[in-house]
Structure 1
Amino acid sequence: MPLKTSEPRKKNMSWEYGHTGEVAAKSPSSIYTTKSPSLQTSFDAIMGDYLIFLGRRSFYSCWTCCSSRFTNLEIVDRYDNDCIPEAFRSNKVAYIKDNFSPKNCTRILKVHKRMKAPIYIYYQLDNYYQNHRRYVKSRSDKQLMYGLKYNDTSLCKPEDNNNGLPIVPCGLIAWSLFNDTYTFVHQSLELKVNRKNIAWKSDRDHKFGKHVFPFNFQNGTLIGGGGLDPNKPLSDQEDLIVWMRTAALPSFRKLYGRIEEDLEADDMIVVNIVNNYNTYSFGGKKKLVLSTSSWLGGKNDFLGLAYIAVGSSSIFISFVFLMLHVKNPRPRGDAAYIIWNRKGTAN
């Protein structure tokens, strides 16, 4: 026997929702309307507030980056043209390829403000596309880690073997190793340059084998760049490790070493350069950079410019949302937005 309930059953109940959070229940005999407080804020207002906040934070971060940048000191010296003798200025490629022509060059750098140690030494290359697909793929990571135990060097062509013997390390990246050298003299004394720990520790420990030694390297007829010490494992040859971490942009800097003593204002530094590396055949540029560092690293404009771009875009879009909100306002909790009160809606 069915149980009787004290409340009559509502038949054919249907629900409809308005735009402001109001709920309506409709039945054939009557309409029940429940009004709940509108908790919705205009989407335009929410996005406008969020974008203004994001823009303000971006400009603050930009100011922080720029203030840190101004504390860094740099000395930048382009030497590729000046290190060519006058007699060879019309044919620089012939000079750099001539093994019998002396490549020594002397430059004098002036310290304008006091530079506190450590002072980082970089070489900078411009118009050098390390990000070219063929160049980036021309390496064998397994060979770098395991040496001659790994025989598949097909990705390294054309620098995979020479005279029938494999090349370690193989590939165009290693073959084109940067090989200019620098020595520094201050007050008739040579400045010591610390060239240890210039590569990432993760690269030294996990990408270059501790028992892998150079083999048959730079023994071909066409020499691309610097050689390697056959008695040192690849994990200890940090020049190679730094070079093998390819750059994403055509202008880049790579760490050469560190000077671990202060340089005073008006000091004169004599730099003896051996100008070996050929950038003349493709119109590249070579620069020597001495730089101090801050908590954000070296001097770099990219991060500050990125924050300016994000902040400016956010502020601009926030004004767009503000104009939309002013042009098409929507009062909260307005009963005119209930579905059956809107024009054109049938009862």
Structure 2
Amino acid sequence: MYLNMQKYIAIIYNRTFSRFTQQELPACKPILTPGWVITAFILVGVVFIPIGLASLFASKRVVEIVDRYDEDCIPQSFKNKTLGYIQDDKTNKTCTRSLVVPKLMKSPIYVYYQLSNFYQNHRRYVKSRSDQQLRSKDGEWKTTNCEPESLMGDKGPIVPCGLIAWSLFNDTYKFSVNDTTLDVNKNNIAWDSDRKHKFGSDVYPKNFQSGGLIGGAKLNSSIPLSEQEDLIVWMRTAALPTFRKLYGKIEHDLEANKTITVTIHNNYNTYDFGGKKHLVLSTASWIGGKNDFLGVAYLAVGGICLFSAIAFILVYVLVPRPLGDPSYLSWNRNPAGRWK
């Protein structure tokens, strides 16, 4: 009995007091000497500052035109009843805007619509879709998460179902310069992975926007969802309440000081929730669209690192101290304060 107890205790001891539990395994334990710290800060500064300058210059070269039109496209007689105007099918919602090109815009020129105060990231809104239905015809009846836009009475399921598809953006834009129409290419505006894997080529719209309350754009029932790129772009929900989505591309250069005439069909209802609508025309650089934040962030981090490196060099030169000097330990600096 005594021997068995000893064996049991030995097993428990070996399991509890191993090299792993006692943190005695071989490990790299770098010592951050002043030389290493200063060198690391200098390297980060030398690398980050050129990247920041290149990013900032690339962003500055992007030419962007942003025009808010939701307020100006309301007739004067409807200024105090915007909701009634946008919900009335009989009102003329055509609006003409003039945009001046500030600098040469080389093709392709990307056309975006920007919405503000629209929370696509709301939990119930994000869940209101059926990926199985979008992906394959066999999932047509899988509409559990799509309420209240799931079924059309005895006619069967709504395809695509859910509030995301139901609220599809439906403003349209037409562009011209000197009475010459600028074609907007709407091909390849969605991600390839979405077209090929998330939206089926055998899935066609069915019972869509045929209820009493119309939410947004209608879809062509003879075109499969994999080719309806406006829907695919819209279905990739945004993380923030202000977002841009690609409408199309203008594949012509626009000279500086030219006036672009835009004919807008102002159909989408953002007035009910205090939203804003902008039309955005933008070129692109190697870092994408206009965004100064990335360049400023790199410059700030690089500048802070170089400043820290200089500060450490001054401290190291003016107030040197031996590495690992035990006299700086608290019990050596104040021997009387030690416990007895």
**TM-score normalised per structure 1:** 0.79
**3-state SS in 2 of match to 1:289:** strand
Query: What is the alpha-carbon distance in structure 1 between the residues aligned to residue 84 and residue 304 of structure 2?
Result: 51
Q: Does the 8 A contact of 2:175 with 2:261 survive in 1?
A: yes
Q: 1:134 aligns with which of 115, 120, 124?
A: 124
Q: Name the counterpart of 1:198.
A: 189
- For the pair 1:95 / 2:85, whether they are aligned, the reply is yes
Deviates more, 1:307-316 or 1:167-176: 307-316
Letter in 1 for 2:250: I
Runs of 5+ in structure 2 lacking a partner? 1-28, 336-340
Counterpart residue type for residue 264 of structure 2? I
Task: Confirm or deny: 8 A CA contact 2:132 2:139 kept in the other structure.
Answer: no
Distance in 2, matches of 1:160 and 1:77, equals 36
Distance, in Å, in 2 between the alignment partners of 1:342 and 1:94 is 80
Classify the secondary structure of the residue corresponding to 2:136.
helix
Deviations 1:20-75 (A, max 9, x none): xxxxxxxxxxxxxxxxxxx9754454334323422442232221111001111111
Consecutive aligned runs of 4 or more in structure 1 exceeding 6 Å deviation:
319-328, 333-337, 341-344
Higher helix share: 2
Higher gyration radius (CA): 1
After superposition, give the CA deviation of every residue in 1:65-113 in whole Å (9 maximum; x if it has no partner): 1100111111111110000000111111111011111110001111122
Establish whether residue 115 from structure 1 lines up as the match of residue 105 from structure 2. Answer: yes
**Counterpart mapping for 1:183-332 below 5 A:** 183-311=174-302, 314=305, 330-332=321-323
Partner of 2:144: 154
Contact 1:45/1:321, CA 8 A, preserved across alignment: no
Q: Secondary structure at the match of 2:290?
A: coil
Q: What number of residue pairs does the alignment pair up?
A: 304
Match of residue 80 from structure 1: 70
Task: Tell me, in whole angstroms, the C-alpha distance in 1 between the residues paired with 2:109 and 2:268.
Answer: 24
Residues 179-221 of structure 1, C-alpha deviation per residue, up to 9 Å, x if partnerless? 1000111111211111111111111111100010011111122
Structure (1 or 2) with the greater strand fraction:
1
Q: Normalising by structure 2, what TM-score?
A: 0.80
Alpha carbons of structure 1 residues 333 and 114: separation in structure 2 relative to 1, 3 Å: closer
2 CA distance for matches of 1:88 and 1:104?
14
Quick one: distance in 2 between partners of 1:289 and 1:133?
A: 28
Q: Does 1:51 align with 2:41?
A: yes
How many Å separate the matches in 2 of 1:227 and 1:237? 11
Unmatched 5+ stretches in structure 1: 1-38
